[in-house]
Structure 1
Amino acid sequence: NIYKTRLKIGYSVQGTGLFPHMSIYNNIAVLGKITNVPKHDIERRIDTLMSFVNLPPSFKTKFPYQLSGGEQQRVGICRAMLLDPPVFLLDEAFAALDPETKSEIHTELLDMQKAEPRTIVIVTHDLNEAVKLADNIMFMQDGEIKQYGSKKDVLNNPASVSVKDYMDNRAL
């Protein structure tokens, strides 16, 4: 069942995908409401997640336009994690953030991974981000996997000229 499978994947994208007409609380709670999670469980989970990503409780009543881009990104991460999915997909989720906010969210994500381990797939063009966050790295070009392996192996032994060129053109 694709619907049940979808609920096992938390998804956060560049640009956050927040609903502008909904409060931050309702943006995070939407999947819990759709799946009939009890209200008190939703509230407790939202409190936990907002604390993880350093968003104050007062933000629950705000709307996306009242938050900075980094704060909105944190809300998107909370929403993606509400149902405690075993798989978390971040598709260029940090691409539009300033370096300071990106670094803060990276640290928060690593802390969350320690507290609540899960599979996290990160799609990024930022090699430094991949090195900081990943255990394994997959290089793709034109929809084709060029190399997959441990971070150390990929960095030390590029499997092709295209992988080597990509790494050479990105400062680590």
Structure 2
Amino acid sequence: MSGTSSDRPAGARDRDSEGRARNARPRDGLGRPLPYGADGVPRQPEGVVRTPPATVAEAQALLDAGKPFHAHEVFEDAWKSGPPAERALWRGLAQLAVGLTHAARGNVTGGARLLRRGAGAVEEWVADTGERTPYGMDVSGVAVWARELADAVDSGASGAVDAAERAPRLRGGGA
């Protein structure tokens, strides 16, 4: 597809190389679509199989850079490609990243809800497996971070959420 929406026929859909519908609009650091032709941030490639330590490192770097939407895609790859016994863990972490994304976008209700849902998912995974520090992550500490941020977002005490400033520390507990 070319540069601007005016270059596209009415009703035309962006497609990937395999013909699947994919929005080709550039995105900002929080994953919001920008106008065609605008400078966006590079997207995370989809379907990348990483080792769990590489997943944690890449997701943390993206969180630290204020790109929780992109971190969610890294977690989503692990959820979809990892062993079935770990899928709930990675899905919960993806939900936490999306919750931070929504909170940073100003979506108070959605942000708080997804932060709590992700916290519950990782807590349930810990309860089911007994594993407290998978791949060096302090998932219990991250769940505490998520619930505290959800409460702050709900109460309005957090004000505008800066995604980089409020990013969790996956290793070393919470924020």
TM-score, normalised to structure 2's length? 0.30
Relative to total residues, which structure has the larger strand share, 1 or 2?
1
- Larger RCO (CA within 8 A; separation ≥ 6): 1
TM-score, normalised to structure 1's length? 0.31
